[in-house]
Amino acid sequence: MDKTQKTFAIGVDLGGTNTVFGIVDAEGNIVAQDSIKTQAYHTAEAFVEAGVKCLQPLIAQVGGIEQIAGMGIGAPNANYYSGAIETAPNIAWAHERVVPLARMFSEKIRPSLSCGHLPRNGESHPDGLPPHYGGGLGRGSFPVRLTNDANAAAMGEMAYGVARGMKNFIVITLGTGVGSGIVINGQLVYGHDGFAGELGHVTMVRGKEGRLCGCGRTGCLETYCSATGVARTAREILANTDRPSLLRDKPADQIESLDVSIAAGKGDEVANEIFQFTGKMLGEACADFAAFSSPEAFIFFGGLCKAGDLIMKPIEESYNQHVMPIFKGKAKFLVSGLMNANAAVLGASALALR
Amino acid sequence: MDKTQKTFAIGVDLGGTNTVFGIVDAEGNIVAQDSIKTQAYHTAEAFVEAGVKCLQPLIAQVGGIEQIAGMGIGAPNANYYSGAIETAPNIAWAHERVVPLARMFSEKIRPSLSCGHLPRNGESHPDGLPPHYGGGLGRGSFPVRLTNDANAAAMGEMAYGVARGMKNFIVITLGTGVGSGIVINGQLVYGHDGFAGELGHVTMVRGKEGRLCGCGRTGCLETYCSATGVARTAREILANTDRPSLLRDKPADQIESLDVSIAAGKGDEVANEIFQFTGKMLGEACADFAAFSSPEAFIFFGGLCKAGDLIMKPIEESYNQHVMPIFKGKAKFLVSGLMNANAAVLGASALALR
């Protein structure tokens, strides 16, 4: 590698509970990592200050800020274009507020051009610039990019995961919700306003019988195929039938998607039917997505993927049954290559390398 | 404009009946135009030869092949990546055959590097190269690009129509079928195999009650919202109810979408209901497309658009009713800016300018 090239990037996974800061090398190894509690601060300013303080020793470990190409942040309700978190309901300091997080971090991290050191506690400049900052406007600016979690996952797959070498693919995250990161011609799709890639909110069941979604609408893919949706399907089947199932061993309101996985693995008929139902709908949704962007692969990420073939086989079968003949058998169905790493940190760091 | 820049492009609209060749200047004016019958030839080779013969006087009119940047062809079942028409059911010489049309035209048009003249009738070289061809392999290659009709329309809107200056938009063609050309980050979306952008074939009605589609599946958007689909809706309502309607003045099997437009324009209740139904479904489909690529505009093209507000208003209303709150009220709903020009020729020519 070119010696003049900066060899590390900072990846940040900003979640509702913890914010993890990692320093990632060019091969996708996290060489240093630490975290802070996301909600322990009353203001965004205090959060950023704590974050920079947390980063200082990590940056020192790899030889200083000069070794670092930039920083990428994966966060809920993040807008890539504006670099801001826009009214994130689950983060107290970003609730009902637009927080320009990329700019705030950039200004706090911006290195002194003369000696490269970062502001220490109590040392920060009154206008937010590091001491010794001597460059013209923007000259010393440290690049910070922000995007949502699913887009960060897609960047991570392209840089370090199963999408290496691919130019057209879709990452679908199956967690509490259903998220997506869409890559076309090697670029993430942000749309004209920065909010594209909300595939959890395509409508799968139209009209009144669709499940109510957190977005205020009904019938969204997410209400059926997220981990939460799977648990909801389980509760519905248990309530509406008398069929025996291992899932009845637990109070219905405590059933989680993991219970369905475990029961299905033991051959439970109801649990397997739940995965068939979930996979069929995901396959139908992917068939529509193929008509849009004809990706080389659909890459699934998140807790529900741990069910392996129990979920992946029904998805692929349903896809090939429902997709236009011209696309049949062409797309790959893959589980994320980053499932065992700190994927969110890796993905966010990949954002900084673009 | 730079004098060394080639100032014209050839646009070709290859349809089931006619193939129109046009020479387009940098401002989007068709300065010369002629056509041949698409199906008057038994082989693709004979078709290409006739096409080049048709082009010769047009090219001469603008000062020879040196003035022309390249050629774009809009054709059914066209693949941009391969430059081939792949088994087009409605074209005899491309039926059950892959025809590498871009290469074939390029080789026939490739100018003589020494004198720039084109092969005249009876003068073509036995291996398909023009006489006097003196360059090394590829040196004299004339650029020819091929894409499907809807993608060509999208290119035309971006170069000369209502999408000038836009980077993210979707053209939806409402004709015999429903086609689409999707532009993201200023680039047409072709997908990994060249067949992306088949939005007429997203599934709007799932399960057995969906209408049978020409693609072999059921419930596709196209079966409801193409001109053919609108006529089908009219016949269904007339057959299933006793409601009075101007549409009953004609035998049901002869009703076309234009009849529905005319009746709706006269205040016919059934006809207006047909447009409401069609617009509602298109709006719901666009709401899903927004979740994918969040375009700045949806641009409608084709015969059905002549109904104007009768169709456009229901689409936009339904969209804003069904789309995620974050996208509400943001997208523009436009009718093509090329409806009165030879849009297909213009669009195809824009392909050559990229």
**Taking 70 as the threshold, does the pLDDT of residue B119 lie above it?**
no
Nearest to A320 by CA among A312, A304, A331: A331
Question: pLDDT tens-digit profile of A216-240?
Answer: 999 999 999 999 999 999 999 999 9
Q: What tokens appear for A327 in the block?
A: 């696309």
Residue A141, CA distances (Å) to A49, A84, A106, A135, A161 in order: 17, 17, 7, 9, 30
- H helix runs in chain B, sequence order: 44-61, 101-109, 149-160, 221-225, 227-240, 257-265, 269-293, 309-322, 343-353
Cβ–Cβ < 8 Å for A276, A299 = no
Question: Count of CB atoms within 10 A of residue B70's CB?
Answer: 19
Do residue A196 and residue B292 have CB atoms under 8 angstroms apart? yes
Cβ–Cβ < 8 Å for A303, A174 = yes
Do residue A324 and residue B215 have CB atoms under 8 angstroms apart? yes
Rounded to an integer, what distance in angstroms lies between the CA atom of residue A87 and that of residue A201? 19
Q: Which residues contact B237 (CB under 8 A, 6 or more apart)?
A: B243, B245, B270, B273, B274
Least CB-CB distance to B192: which of A168, A195, A199?
A168
Q: For residue A196, list chain B residues with Cβ-Cβ distance below 8 A.
A: 168, 291-294
Q: What angle do CA B343, B348, B351 make, to 5 degrees?
A: 130
Q: Order of strands, edge to edge, in the sheet holding A98-99?
A: A78-79, A84-86, A98-99
Q: Which residues contact B323 (CB under 8 A, 6 or more apart)?
A: B286, B287, B290, B291, B331
What is the band of B126 on the pLDDT scale with cuts at 50, 70, 90? Answer: very low
Rounded to an integer, what distance in angstroms lies between the CA atom of residue B311 and that of residue B261? 9
Do residue A324 and residue B168 have CB atoms under 8 angstroms apart? no
Query: Nearest-CA distance from B110 to chain A in Å?
Result: 30
Cβ–Cβ < 8 Å for B11, B354 = no
What is the band of B308 on the pLDDT scale with cuts at 50, 70, 90? Answer: very high
Q: What tokens appear for B113 in the block?
A: 């590097």
Q: Which residues contact A63 (CB under 8 A, 6 or more apart)?
A: none
Question: pLDDT tens-digit profile of A4-31?
Answer: 567 899 999 998 889 999 999 988 899 9
Q: For residue A215, list chain B residues with Cβ-Cβ distance below 8 A.
A: 324-325
Cβ–Cβ < 8 Å for A321, A283 = yes
> Under an 8 Å CB criterion, which residues of B touch A?
166-168, 182, 184-185, 187, 189-199, 201-206, 215-217, 284, 287-296, 322, 324-327, 330
- pLDDT of B120: 45
- Calculate mean pLDDT across residues A277-298: 98
Residue B293, CA distances (Å) to A72, A153, A323 in order: 22, 18, 20
**Taking 90 as the threshold, does the pLDDT of residue A74 lie above it?**
yes
Q: Which residues contact B160 (CB under 8 A, 6 or more apart)?
A: B27, B28, B337, B338, B341, B346, B350
Tell me the average pLDDT of chain B. 88
Residue at token pair 């022309």: B68
Q: What are phi and psi of B90, to 5 degrees?
A: -100, 5
Query: Nearest-CA distance from B218 to chain A in Å?
Result: 9
Least CB-CB distance to B292: which of A168, A187, A199?
A199
Nearest to B49 by CA among B116, B97, B104: B104
Nearest to A294 by CA among A270, A324, A259: A324
Q: What are phi and psi of A17, to 5 degrees?
A: -105, -60
- H helix runs in B62-133, sequence order: 101-109
- pLDDT of B124: 41
- pLDDT of A140: 59
Q: Which of A224, A282, A292 to mutate to test the interface with B (most CBs of B within 10 A)?
A: A292
Q: What tokens appear for B168 in the block?
A: 């993210």
Q: What angle do CA A267, A341, A161 make, to 5 degrees?
A: 90
Q: For residue A184, list chain B residues with Cβ-Cβ distance below 8 A.
A: 184-185, 187, 189, 191
Q: For residue B326, list chain A residues with Cβ-Cβ distance below 8 A.
A: 195, 198
Question: pLDDT tens-digit profile of A185-198?
Answer: 999 999 999 999 99
Buried b (16+ CB within 10 A) or exposed e, B90-127: ebbbbeeeebbbbbbbbbbbbbbeeeebbbeeeebeee
Q: For residue A282, list chain B residues with Cβ-Cβ distance below 8 A.
A: none
3-state SS, residue A174: strand
Question: pLDDT tens-digit profile of A39-72?
Answer: 999 999 999 999 999 999 999 999 999 999 999 9
Nearest to A119 by CA among A108, A104, A127: A108
Q: Which residue of A has its CA nearest to B200?
A: A291
pTM: 0.87
